[in-house]
Structure 1
């Protein structure tokens, strides 16, 4: 769920309780908690406030109208009107949302901060490539997020001991939501287009992502939830100004990436012994856009909050135009989905039809 991706708690959860005693540390899963923790890597689709702590960054959402439908109408740094997919997935498994990594390390010495309940490294503007945020250089690219996770891994080892940490991390979910900013980078930069064909670029994205997944696995991860990019060419910002049609180039590259990602994960599974869910955001979001009424939407082209034609000419700010009914809109701003869209996507991700998740749903992944 970057850009252009996506609530209800299940009526009953299994009561899952286990105790872990290692070097005097006692760790218990609470009632209704299906996994020990969720560790989140990604971009603005799942950023829950890390960019708020990047002091000179302009890639932020900690101001209205963002958060207008979040509890207490607070702008938390989420790029949307309310909760995002990371929030909804946490609810599904009975956990609080994994907090921003930078919020934890800003409050205490790293060695004293606790990360056993999960943490989010996601950063608005981040990409698989370090240069995907070249315009601002104010995001945390994926390789740096993994660097942070390396420190978290060390911290968890100190708290739980080696065996305890391995057990904890092997049962936790590792959510990966990234790639859209790299695609946006390609479709707007002639230099990249001259250097790589779209297929070569998609393959390079996957190759770089594979390297980071291997690093995360080497630090204890076993269960990956990998979210593919959506039809990025259908974001309000990418639609043709006069006709409103989607940008075919962006969508085509997203499909190439999706197929290359699927192949890579199929090969990585036996090589590393991991388990994973690969979610087809492209197909579900395309279905929503093409059949909006079936999902409760009436507006698929215009953003709810923004400026200019279709609210697609600038970001959501306190002085931007704001739609009265966010539930009607697929898109919140010129790049990001609304809370309603995030909720639908997360429902499909967690326990939806097999056409969207391969080789299994998140619910099935947890049960392994």
Structure 2
């Protein structure tokens, strides 16, 4: 039991969140009762939000085997976690079903009316990121896939109805992670670290990202939640590379990520100013994850430095191997494998994305976005 002295080190926001999370059932009822009508969720990004697209691609980046999904009711579905994805939780908080993966042949007709998930593990903002894993949908390909889906909607509703449908939908984008861990930070495979400084690379990513966001805007989407990158230097994968003292985060990597995040937040301001008919919001994943790392006990977490599943230094230099036995106390771990903020942590991220204050979601959170 945590005494009063321990709480003196925890922010007010953190204490408030812990109280709410302990009343999960009550919270869910309150959120859903206040939720507006949301047409659909459209998801773009990488393995953090992939719910099975890579199952249908010729790639090594898959999570459709045990122990992935060990705590998920449907088992291993392609979600890179022991349980739910952020989109599952966000959908629950908003009262909207988690949309199906684009690549699934059964994602047609009424099944796509609640939206579609285009995210692909190992895919990045740059087309070449993650190519050593095999096939994947880069962000530009995901945008093209959305355009294909749009053609399906055109056969299901008239132009006016479709325009209103898209305007009331929420677009969630989680991209950029693989442009670092599966591109810039692998100089043996990619030349980007030789061609760009960390600041230049961050600017390049933001510029390319903006192009794809505007492509989606031009296709009719109007509400965008853009998640920043968490401190990648604190993942078991980066710690295992020996670039920092034992049990310390790799600050050099975290600084790279901050360049990107700063540019992404500035882009949100610019887009909001230039496109008054749309809403853009920045999700401060870095801040949320940093809070969890600094105050693990406040979230009932005990294991900060190693993954629950994986192999190598700190048990988590690599992703889970098929049929590998994970740790026994999964709910107490921050990391599930070498790269993936367990279900316990995903729940926190998702709740703060939907309900968090401006420090978490700038300038507004997903729930506030849905009300507009």
Give TM-score, length-normalised by structure 1: 0.88
Contact 1:33 1:94 (8 Å CA) reproduced: no
Mapped to 2, the partners of 1:99 and 1:114 lie a distance apart of 7
In structure 2, what is the equivalent of residue 236 of structure 1?
A: 236
Matched, 1:70 2:72: yes
The one of 292, 295, 315 equivalent to 1:291 is 295
Residue 13 of structure 1 deviates from its aligned partner by: 5.1
Q: Which residue of 1 aligns with 2:63?
A: 61
SS in 2 for 1:300: strand
Residue deviations 1:242-277 (CA, integer Å, cap 9, x gap): 613212222111100000011112111222232022
Alignment CA distance shift 1:140-1:281 (3 Å): same
Stretches of structure 2 that go unaligned for 5 or more consecutive residues are 1-20
Deviates more, 1:243-252 or 1:203-212: 243-252
Judge conservation of contact 1:69–1:82 (CA < 8 Å) in 2.
yes
Instruction: State how 1:1-368 maps to structure 2 within 5 Å.
Output: 8=24, 10-12=28-30, 34-54=37-57, 56-72=58-74, 74-103=75-104, 106-107=105-106, 115-184=112-181, 185-189=183-187, 191-240=191-240, 241=242, 243-273=246-276, 274-368=278-372
CA 1:12–1:356 in structure 2 vs 1: closer, same or farther (change >3 Å)?
A: closer
CA distance in 2, matches of 1:337, 1:206: 22
1:36 offset after TM fit, Å?
1.2
On the 8 A contact 1:34/1:93 being kept in 2, the answer is: no
Give 3-state SS (helix, strand or coil) of 1:101's partner.
Answer: coil
CA distance in 1, matches of 2:303, 2:37: 36
Q: SS at 1:305's partner residue?
A: coil
Note the C-alpha offset of 1:216.
Answer: 0.3
Shift of 1:228: 0.5
Q: Distance in 2 between matches of 1:86 and 1:107?
A: 19
CA distance in 2: counterparts of 1:101 and 1:289, whole angstroms:
34
SS of the aligned residue for 1:12 comes to helix
Aligned pair count reads: 341
Provide the rounded CA distance (Å) in 1 between the counterparts of 2:66 and 2:115: 27
Deviation, 1:325, is: 1.1
| Counterparts of 1:335 and 1:317, CA distance in 2 | 14
Can you list the C-alpha shifts for 1:2-31, whole angstroms capped at 9, x where unaligned? xxxxx7462235669xxxxxxxxxxxxxxx
Residues 156 and 114 of structure 1, relative CA distance in 2, 3 Å threshold? farther
Structure-2 separation of matches of 1:169 and 1:59: 31
Secondary structure of the corresponding residue to residue 60 of structure 2 = coil
CA distance in structure 2 between the aligned counterparts of 1:342 and 1:12, rounded to whole angstroms: 20
**Quick check: 1:46–1:86 contact (8 Å CA) kept in 2?**
yes
Contact 2:66 2:324 in 1 (8 A): no
Take 1:14 and 1:42, find their aligned partners in 2: how far apart are those partners?
26
Write out the 4+ residue segments of structure 1 that deviate beyond 4 Å after TM superposition: 13-16
Structure with bigger RCO (C-alpha 8 Å, 6+ apart): 1
- TM norm structure 2: 0.87
Partner of 1:19: none
